[in-house]
Amino acid sequence: MQRIISRILLGVGVLIVFIILFLGVIFNTNFLVNQMEEEEEAQYFKKISKISPSSKELSYPSDSIKVMSWNIKFGGGRIDFFFDCYGDRVIMEKGEVLQNLAGLRKKILQVCPDILLVQEIDLEAKRSAYINMVNWMLENTYFQYAVYASQWDVKYLPSRGLGRINSGIAIFSRFPLTEAKRYPLPLLPEQDFITRFFYLRRCILSCKIKGPVPQKDIYILNTHLAAYDKSGTRKKQLQILFDLAKQFATKGILIFGGDLNTLPPGTKKVKNFDDSVCKDQDFVEDDYSYEKEVLVPFYTHFKECIPLEVYHQNEKKFYSHTVNGRGFWNRRLDYLFSNYPWQNGLVHQDESTGGMATMPLSDHAPITATLILKEK
C-alpha cells in the first residue's frame, strides 16, 4: 500500500510539473524561478531613422550632464484605469496612446535632458495598442540610444482581458550605451500561486555611458520598486539597490534612481492620503509608516538631487505622485541619486514649477537635475 501511495504521489508531482511547464510555454511567464532569478543582459535599442543628429547630440558634456527621471504610466495619461479605482478602463485605443505619448514628448523636448530614466514603458502590450514605446521615443526625440529591461512579460494575461504584456524600465541617452544588465529583485511572498504566476518581476537596469568624460566612466541604474507591498519586500529591494549602487560608485561617476515607491526620511504625512479610494486592498498603497527611515542610508552615502534639508523646508513643492488626476501631487516617490554633486533639482509639477502642466501626462511628475562632472 505504501508503495502504491508513493507512486500516486510521484505521478501527481510529475503531472503538476508538466502543467506548470505547459503553462509557462503558453503564457510565456517565468514562474519556475526562486525569489531571485539570474542577472542577464538587457536589450539594446538605437535610432533607426536616417536623420543625422545635430552637433549638440554628438557632442559630449565637459562639465555637467542633465538627467531626467519619469514614470510615464505606460502612455496612459490620466485615463482612469481600474487599478486607480477612479474608473474601470483596461485597454486604450491607438489614438489615445499616441496622443499621450505626444504630450510626454513635448515635455521631454522642453527639458532636453542628456539622460532619461523611464519607468512603466511598454514594449509590446495590448493595453497600449502594441506600440513599442522605446522605438517610438527614439524616433520622435533627439535620443540616439536606449536600453530596456522587462518587469512584466506575459504572453497572455487572462485577467480583465489585458492579454499580451511586455512592460518595464528604460534608459535613453544621447551617447552610446554599453554593459547593459538586468538585475532581478525579490518577489512579493504574500501573493498566491496564480497571482505570482502572472505578476510583475521587478528589477534594476544598469548601463555605462561610453566616452562622455575623459578618464571617467559614467554608470546609470534605473529601477521601479514594488508597489502594494505588505510584507516588507520593498525594504529588501532597496537594500539590493543600495548595495549595487555602492559597488558601481567605486567604478566611476554613478547616477541612479527612479520610482522607489517610498517617502523621503522625515516626511510628515505617511498615511491616509486624500487620493486613496480603493476598496480592493490589492491596489491600496496608503501607509508608509513602517519604512519612514528606509532611505536614510541613501541620503547618507550619496547625494540626492533635492537635499533633505531643502525638501523639509517645503515638502509639497517636491511631491511627485497622485492617483487622482483631478487633484494635485500629494507625496514624493521619485528620486535621483549620485556620488557626484547635483544642481537645480526640480520636480516639474505644473506651469509655475517646470513651465508646463504635467498632471495630464502621467500619475507621476518628472524630476530633473544637473550633475556636476567634477571631482568630489
Average pLDDT, the chain: 85
Q: What are 40-53's pLDDT values in tens digits?
A: 999 999 998 765 55
* Angle between helices 133-140 and 94-111 in degrees, nearest 10: 50
Long-range CB pairs of 239-245, under 8 A, 24+ apart, other chains included: 240/183, 240/185, 240/186, 240/204, 241/204, 242/297, 242/298, 242/301, 244/183, 244/204, 244/206, 245/221, 245/298, 245/302, 245/337
Q: What length does the chain have?
A: 376
Q: What are 291-329's pLDDT values in tens digits?
A: 889 999 999 999 999 999 999 999 999 999 999 999 999
Give pLDDT, residue 36: 54
Q: How many domains does one find in the chain?
A: 2
Q: What's the grid cell of residue 222? A: 534605473
Q: Given pLDDT bands bounded at 50, 70 and 90, which one contains residue 62?
A: low
Q: Residue 18: pLDDT above 60?
A: no
User: Looking at the structure, do residues 159 and 19 belong to the same domain, yes or no?
Assistant: no
User: Looking at the structure, do residues 168 and 280 belong to the same domain, yes or no?
Assistant: yes
Helix (H, G, I), strand (E, B) or coil at 371: strand
User: Looking at the structure, do residues 129 and 23 belong to the same domain, yes or no?
Assistant: no
Q: What are 194-227's pLDDT values in tens digits?
A: 555 556 789 999 999 976 565 688 999 999 999 8
Q: Side chain identity at 271, as an amino acid letter?
A: K
User: Looking at the structure, do residues 43 and 134 belong to the same domain, yes or no?
Assistant: yes
CATH number of the domain enclosing 267 = 3.60.10.10
Q: Report yes or no: 293 and 278 within 8 Å, Cβ to Cβ.
A: no
Query: 361 is in which domain, residue-wise?
Result: 36-372
User: Looking at the structure, do residues 68 and 28 belong to the same domain, yes or no?
Assistant: no
User: Looking at the structure, do residues 200 and 59 belong to the same domain, yes or no?
Assistant: yes
User: Looking at the structure, do residues 136 and 22 belong to the same domain, yes or no?
Assistant: no
User: Looking at the structure, do residues 184 and 289 belong to the same domain, yes or no?
Assistant: yes
CA gap 204, 182 in Å, rounded: 6
User: Looking at the structure, do residues 196 and 182 belong to the same domain, yes or no?
Assistant: yes
Give pLDDT, residue 374: 76
Q: What are 65-106's pLDDT values in tens digits?
A: 999 999 999 999 999 988 888 888 999 999 999 999 999 999
